[in-house]
Amino acid sequence: MDERARHTLGTVAGLAALVPLCTLTEAAARALRTGNAAFAPALDGLGYLAAVAVLVTLLTAWPAAALACGVPLAATGTLFALDLDAAMGLAGTLPGAETGEPPGTLAGVTGLYALLGVLLVLSPLKRALPRPGRSARGSAR
């Protein structure tokens, strides 16, 4: 497979992973909030977060997928951090929006989208940076 096809396929995979990643992140945030309100352990929230961690780990193995998924998440997290009213208005227009709490609100307000997005965007840099003890061309000294 040529390089261009790999990048295209990675981009499609990253965009396809965006919906389940957002759904799992939102479910985790809601479960953790419910556990916190009940002063009880939120084991289902931890399970959702574990699933998010697995998905993020899989995406970081493919730089094009990590960027395609990470950039929208980081942008969403930034929007929630900088302009909560605009973010809430946008979330309220999404399919499945509820009057009390639009989708993505908890994950956005708590910073989960920003954290995941930044991790995914920065993950390709890890591969690009030279490792200690190796020259820039990757051969051992």
Q: What ranges in the chain are assigned the alpha helix state H?
A: 3-37, 43-60, 63-82, 84-91, 105-109, 112-128
pLDDT mean over 3-16: 93
- Asked if 94 contacts 102 with a C-beta cutoff of 8 angstroms, the reply is yes
CB count within 10 Å of CB 101 equals 15
Q: How confident is the model at residue 138 (pLDDT cuts 50, 70, 90)?
A: low
Taking only the tens place, the pLDDT of each residue in 79-128 is: 999 998 988 888 887 766 776 778 888 889 889 999 999 999 999 887 77
Q: What digits encode the pLDDT tens for the residues 14-40?
A: 999 999 999 999 999 999 999 999 999
Please report, for the chain, the start and end positions of each structural domain, with discontinuous segments joined by +: 3-125
